Structure formats: C-alpha cells, structure tokens
Structure 1
C-alpha cells in the first residue's frame, strides 16, 4: 500500500482543525458534538480520531496554534528596523487572523472573536486548557515586550517605561477588541487603528503652562 505523504497528513489535520474551529465558534464548545465536527469536515470518525482523541484535544490544539502564530508575528516584528508602531502591529495581527480559513464562516462572518470567548469560558473549568492558555499568553506577552524594548532602543519610547506593563496593556487592547467584536460586531480593525493613533497622539500637559 502506498505511503501517505506528510503533506497529505498535514493538510488533513488542517482540514479538521479549521472545521472544528468553525463549529466551536458558531455553536459553542459544549453544544458542539464530535458528530457536528465530522459533518463539518466531511470525514469519517476513523479519519478524525486518527489525529484527535476528542473535543478537548481539538480545542487545545486550536488554542496552542493561534497563540503560537501570534507570538511568531511579534517575534518577527521585534526584528524589524524600525519596529512597527503598536497600532500597526495590532491591526496587522488582527487582519492576519481574519484571513485564516478557520476564522471565516461561509457567509463571510469573522468567527475568531466568538471562538476566543468560547475558549475563555472553557478555561474556567478545564485545567489542561487553562495551562495551555496561560503558557501561550506568557509567550505572547514576552514577544510583545521584545517589541517594546526595541521601541526604547530606537528612541521611540522612554527608557523608564516598563516593557512588561506596556506588553500586557497592548495584549489587553487586542483582547478587548475581540470581545467587543464578538458581542456587538461592527468594529473593523481599522477603527482600532484610528483609536490607538488618537491615543498615541496625546502629549502630557506641563503643569502651570499657559
């Protein structure tokens, strides 16, 4: 029997993860069954279980992959000269996420923010997923901190600023955008860029000036 190529195996795994992500984003983790996933990806149970033992392993793989992708984007940004400003880098990340196949429904709706909310909820009861999320969050924050250090090295930010504090604030900005999009919709990444640029344009007032 001919051996299955690694390319084929990787493509099949990608197909399963993308389909599962769409299911979880649409209907929630607990309301989605493995049968729903099988129907979404149009594969047999044997084909899917060859890669994943069940929903828990699927959601853990999705979370780990997303966080790794975001971390890699920030790691590369830290190597740019000069590094991209925060508004540009966050929007670049969000735009990349909207282009992922698993992030968009058949009618063009961006599903990733809804998936993000589902993951947060599930981590409150799933210790293994919580550990994966915490580890991934720490890596993403550390990558952002590297970008902040580059801001300082290039004179774009004061030296007395705590890189970790800035990193956590920027991560919170991206998370907040996702939460607003999931709950209310109608908030494109470009609007976030405009808002951040407005904040970045502020200057401290000198007491007694005028």
Structure 2
C-alpha cells in the first residue's frame, strides 16, 4: 500500500477531527466512541489509530482546530484597513458561531477542568484569542478613533476582555439551545 504524503496525512487528520466534532456535538465527549468516529468519518479503525493514539488525543486536536479557526478570523479583522469596532467585532464573531462547534467547545471547557493537556490548549488558545482581540481593538482605536498607539493599547485591554467574555457567553448560550431552537431561528 502506498504511503500517504504529509499533505494527505494532514487532510486525513482533519477529516477525522471534523467527524469527531460532529460526533461529540451529537453524543457528548464521554458518550462518543472511536467506533462512532469511525462510522462518521467513513474510515477504518486502523486509519483512525494511525493518525490519533486515542480519543483524548482527538479531543485535543478538535479543540485546537476550532480555536485556531476563530483566532485566524480575528487576525484578519485586526489586519483590515478599517478594523471593526468592539460592537461590530462581537457581532461578527457571534454571527460566525457554529452551534455544533459551540456544543463541543463548551464540553471541551469542562474537560479542561480535569485534563491538564486540554486545559493547556484552552488556556493557550484563550490567551491568544484575547491578545488578538486586544490587537484588533487597538488597531480600531488608532485607525478609526485616532488615539495614540500607547494610549490605544491601554484602553483596549478592558474592552477586549469584555468582548471575549461576551463572546464566550454567546458560545454557551448557543451550545445550550436545542436543535429545535436552532432550526427555528
């Protein structure tokens, strides 16, 4: 059998992680088995284990992937010629929340309270996201509100903190909505 290229391996890992997120969203982290992920991905058990040692590693990969996507979006906002203000930034972030990912995100926060590896991922990603929000708000304060850069950085810290807190609250709210509520909105 031919060996997979690095690019192909990464695509396969992403395919497996996305299948895991769908399963985690439907069944919860604890009730999802490798068999569920195998069925969802359409791959063999051997293929799953060739890319991930166990379910815990898949949980960590799924968390890292979801948080990385969100961080990338915020980075794009900060780099814009006219960065969005705090209200618009929050509005864009909340509009982009995927309900399935929100459910898995909240479950992952819970897992972070008992799994040091997941906690490290969550703390790192949250810190990076808060830093990017700070950078975005700073850019808005400088480019749109015309503050001096040092003053803008100072003013941005509490604003970014509030945007992050409101975004996390919206993630929780979205995660707690039932499927019926999702389809009704």
| TM-score bracket, shorter-length normalisation | 0.7 to 0.9
Q: Secondary structure at the match of 1:168?
A: helix
Higher helix share: 2
Q: CA deviation at 1:155?
A: 4.2
Name stretches of at least 5 consecutive residues in structure 1 with no aligned partner: 99-109, 192-210
Q: 1:120 aligns with which of 109, 116, 133?
A: 109
Distance 1:80 1:59, change over 3 A: same
CA contact (8 A) 1:180 1:187 kept: no
Q: CA deviation at 1:36?
A: 1.4
Name stretches of at least 5 consecutive residues in structure 2 with no aligned partner: none
1:141 aligned residue: 130
Distance 1:32 1:168, change over 3 A: same
1:181-207 Cα shifts (integer Å, max 9, x gaps): 22235479xx9xxxxxxxxxxxxxxxx
| 1:67-82 aligned within 5 A | 67-82=67-82
Distance 1:93 1:132, change over 3 A: same
- Give the whole-Å Cα distance in 1 for the aligned partners of 2:131 and 2:144: 20
1:153-172 Cα shifts (integer Å, max 9, x gaps): 12438647632221121111
- Aligned pairs, number: 178
Given the two structures, how large is their TM-score scaled by the length of structure 1?
Answer: 0.75
1:165 aligned residue: 158
Q: Secondary structure at the match of 1:162?
A: helix
1:154 aligned residue: 143
- Give the whole-Å Cα distance in 1 for the aligned partners of 2:88 and 2:46: 44
Work out which of the two has the higher radius of gyration on C-alpha atoms and give 1 or 2: 1
1:17 aligned residue: 17
Q: Secondary structure at the match of 2:51?
A: coil
1:52 aligned residue: 52
1:176 aligned residue: 169
- Give the whole-Å Cα distance in 1 for the aligned partners of 2:182 and 2:84: 22
Residue 86 (structure 2) pairs with residue 93 (structure 1):
no
